[in-house]
Amino acid sequence: MAHKFKPSYTSSIAEDIMAERLIRAKAVEFLTEEPMRLKSGLISPVYVDNRKLFYYPEAWSDVIETMASRVEEFDLSFDIVAGVEAAGSMHAAALAPRGAAPIPPAAARHHGAPRSQDLRQPLAY
């Protein structure tokens, strides 16, 4: 069953405030001398370290609000919300309840655990 986010805000002013807070949190690095290659293969002179946001609740809240706004704006639906390790899993944990969607654990399986204990499957209670 696909879930929808509850409406949030979206505006250029809100995006400007978010950008300013990201820069103040020192989460944005401009790599003009040596741009980084993203996993997608694209080369970018800008890096945003989302892990730093957890020490700046207002900046993190702005990111979450903007993400939720984009989901609403583009009328996206989903069955689950998942994120990758570090910041991605924290963002997913903040977004999932807004859409009343389940969120799988960040780690798919504990090392050494048998496949029958795969955490990607919902736990039976």
- Which CATH class for the 12-117 domain? alpha beta
Q: What is the pTM of this model?
A: 0.66
pLDDT at res. 110? 53
Strands 36-37 and 43-44, bridge-based pairing: antiparallel
What are the boundaries of each domain within the chain?
A: 12-117
SS3 96: helix
Tokens found for residue 16: 């400007």
59-99 pLDDT tens trace: 888 888 888 888 888 888 888 888 877 788 888 888 888 77
Q: Are 68 and 98 in contact (CB under 8 A)?
A: yes
Per-residue confidence band for 45, with pLDDT thresholds at 50, 70 and 90: very high
Determine the residue type at 14.
Answer: A
